[in-house]
Chains A and B, each alone.
Chain A
Amino acid sequence: MTLIRRASVDQHRWLTDEEFNRDWALCQMTPGINLIALSILIGRRIAGWRGVAICLLGLVFPSALLTILLTAAYVSIRGLPAIQATLKGLLPASVGLGLVTAVQMGRKPAGDAWQLGIWTTVFVVFLTVGSGALLASGKLSVTLVLLCAGIIGAVENSIRYRLSGSKDEQ
C-alpha cells in the first residue's frame, strides 16, 4: 500500500493525496482484497478499462505465480519428517501473525467507537467478542454470524443516529 501510494501520488501525480485517501477508504468497505480494489480504481482513473487490466496483471499475476511455485515446491517435500516437524513450528507463527492482523483490523473501528463514547465502545467490543464466541459454540455457521452482526450493527447505528439527531433539534 505504501509503495503504491508513493508511486501514484508522489512520483507520477496520477491522483492527489485526498483522492488517494478517499479511494483507500472505499476499498476498505469493498469485499475482497483491498489492494486489488485500489489498483482497479487507480487503473480506471488513469487509462479506463485497459488501465484496470494492466494494473491487475501487474499486481496479481506475478505474486500468484510465485505463490503457486512455492506451494508446488512445498508439496514435493511435505512428506519428509523434517518438514512435518518444521510445520509444527510454522503453525504458531501463522497464528501469531494472524492475530496481529486481527488487532490491526480492529484498531480503526475501536478508535472510532471510543470517540463516540463509552456505550458505542462497549457495543463494538460486545459484537466482536460475541461473534467469536458464537462461532466457537458451533451453533451458527460463519456466514450467518457475519450477517447477524451486520444486521445488529445496522440497527444500532440507525438508533444512535436517530437519538443524536433528536438531541440536535432541541
Chain B
Amino acid sequence: MSPFVLFFYMCRAALLSTGGFGNVSSLHDDFVGHRWANNNQFVEALTVGQVSPGPNGLWVVSLGYLMLGAWGSVAAMVAITLPPFLVIGVEKLYRRVQHHPAVEGFVRGIMLAVIGTLVTVLMNLLNSSGLDTLKVTLTLLSFGLGWLPRIPVVAIISFCGLVGFLAYR
C-alpha cells in the first residue's frame, strides 16, 4: 500500500463525515476490510489521538504512522487538512440555499448514520480482543467519567492503562 492510497481513503472518509471521530467507521471498513491495518492499530491510534494535544481528529496521523511510517503520517495530515477547506464553499452555498429542506435533511441523515456506525465500530473493537468483566467495567467507567469536565482525558486513559497493566501482565 502506498501513501497515496492511504491519502485517498482518508480524504474520502473525511469528506463523508464531520468532526474528529466521524471518520472512524469508514476507515475501519476500508483499512481492516482490505487487511491494510488491524483492530489493534486502530485502538492504538485512537488512544494516542486522545492523549496528544490538539484536535482529536489528528488520531489519523497516528494511524498513518502505524501503517506506513513517517510518509503515512504526512499523507494523513494532508488528507485531513484539505476537506475542511470546503467550508468556504459551504459558506457561499449557505447564503443561497440557506434552508433547503433536502440539503438540510441529507446532512442530518449522514450525521445520524455517522453516530450509529461509530457505536457499532466501537463495539466491534471492544469485542475484537475477547470480552471480560473487567473490560466492560472499564468501558462503563470511562464513559461515565468522560462527562466530567474536571477529570482530564489523560487521567482516565492512564488509570485504565494502569489497571490493564496490573490485571493482564
Which positions in A face B, CB cutoff 8 Å? 26-38, 40-41, 44, 56, 59-60, 62-64, 66-68, 70-72, 74-75, 78, 81-82, 84-102, 105-106, 109, 124, 127-133, 135-136, 141-143, 145-158, 160-162
Q: Closest approach, in angstroms, between the C-beta of A140 and any C-beta of chain B? A: 10
Check if B165 sits within 8 Å of A93, measured CB to CB.
no
Q: Which residues of B contact A88 (CB under 8 A)?
A: 129, 135, 164, 167-168
- Nearest A residue (CB) for B27: A142
Q: Which residues of A contact B14 (CB under 8 A)?
A: 31-33
- Is B1 in the interface zone, CB < 8 Å from A? no
Partner of B112, one of A30, A34, A124: A124
Residue among A32, A78, A130 with the highest chain B CB neighbour number at 10 A: A32
Check if A64 sits within 8 Å of B54, measured CB to CB.
yes
Partner of A85, one of B57, B135, B142, B167: B167
- Is B160 in the interface zone, CB < 8 Å from A? yes
Q: Which residues of A contact B129 (CB under 8 A)?
A: 88, 91
Q: Closest approach, in angstroms, between the C-beta of B118 and any C-beta of chain A? A: 5
A71 to B106 CA separation, bound complex (whole angstroms): 36
Q: Which residues of B contact A99 (CB under 8 A)?
A: 119, 122, 139, 143, 146
Check if B109 sits within 8 Å of A149, measured CB to CB.
yes
Q: Which residues of B contact A38 (CB under 8 A)?
A: 87
Q: Which residues of A contact B163 (CB under 8 A)?
A: 89
Instruction: Work out how many contacts link A and B, with CB atoms closer than 8 A.
Output: 350
Partner of B141, one of A37, A96, A149, A156: A96
Partner of A158, one of B101, B121, B124, B144: B101
A81 to B18 CA separation, bound complex (whole angstroms): 37
Partner of B88, one of A44, A141, A148, A161: A44
Known contacts A67-B48, A92-B138: A98-B118 contact under CB 8 Å = yes
A86 to B65 CA separation, bound complex (whole angstroms): 20
A–B Cβ pairs within 8 angstroms, 23 of them: A28-B19, A32-B18, A36-B55, A36-B80, A60-B77, A62-B53, A62-B54, A63-B53, A71-B62, A71-B65, A74-B44, A86-B165, A87-B164, A92-B134, A95-B142, A96-B140, A102-B115, A109-B112, A127-B116, A149-B109, A150-B106, A155-B102, A162-B101
Q: Which residues of B contact A68 (CB under 8 A)?
A: 61-62, 65, 70, 73
Q: Which residues of B contact A89 (CB under 8 A)?
A: 138, 160-165, 167-168
Q: Closest approach, in angstroms, between the C-beta of A20 and any C-beta of chain B? A: 14
Q: Which residues of A contact B22 (CB under 8 A)?
A: 105
- Nearest A residue (CB) for B73: A68
Q: Which residues of A contact B25 (CB under 8 A)?
A: 135, 142
**Which of chain B's residues 118-162 have a Cβ closer than 8 Å to chain A?**
118-126, 129, 134-147, 153, 156-157, 159-162
Check if A97 sits within 8 Å of B85, measured CB to CB.
no
**Which of chain B's residues 89-117 have a Cβ closer than 8 Å to chain A?**
90-91, 94, 101-117
